[in-house]
Amino acid sequence: MESVLRFRRFLEAPPPPPPAERCEFCDLPIGETHSHVVGLEKRELLCVCRACYLLFTTAGAAQGKYRAVGDRYTHEPELVLTEAQWEEFQIPVGIAFFFHNSIQNRAVALYPSPAGATEAVLPGAAWQDVVRANPVLQSLEADIEALLVSRLPGRRDAFIIPIDACYELVGKIRRHWRGFSGGERAWSEIAEFFASLSEKAL
């Protein structure tokens, strides 16, 4: 009987908490909200503590292999991007983000999908036309900042945001998308994400 009671208590015990996230450089525990560093060679986002983050805020740190992701958010409602240019980019959905990959020395376009971030082939000349029409894009910091564009019905908008925020949106869509149309939860998450950008933007 005693063994039965012990087994019952085991079954009724709450599940153990998930392991705490740890800094990917020094292994110290970090909170759910933390900073990120981009590993340029592997194109990876690393979760880091504040102390390690500060190490990579200086240009050329770690021989330029890592860059700390900043926190600039700007709203660009006057962005000039024509229908013809968007069609030339051949992006099949209404959301995409654009950044400069310093390793490949070219502009890159990615769009979120239920499978994750998908790259679109970006004609260099077409992108340069967009940059010439929008001088603010010359201020984009390579690898760590992106232009996020929404051309969804009823939401034509653009923001310059940290690259980790772009991947946050990709994660939300991948996690919540259901079926062909996405489902109510996915579209609610997308709407909330863009609302939060408007609050953060200068």
pLDDT surpassing 90 at residue 44: yes
Going by C-beta distance under 8 Å and a sequence separation of 6 or more, which residues neighbour residue 108?
98, 99, 100, 101, 119, 122
* Other residues' Cβ atoms within 10 Å of the Cβ of residue 79: 18
Residues listed for the chain: 202
The model carries a pTM of 0.87
pLDDT surpassing 90 at residue 2: no
For residue range 142-198, what is the model confidence (pLDDT) as tens digits?
999 999 999 998 889 999 999 999 999 999 999 999 998 999 999 999 999 999 999
Q: Where are the domains of the chain?
A: 1-68, 74-200
For residue range 53-111, what is the model confidence (pLDDT) as tens digits?
999 998 777 788 999 999 999 999 999 999 999 999 999 999 999 999 999 999 999 99
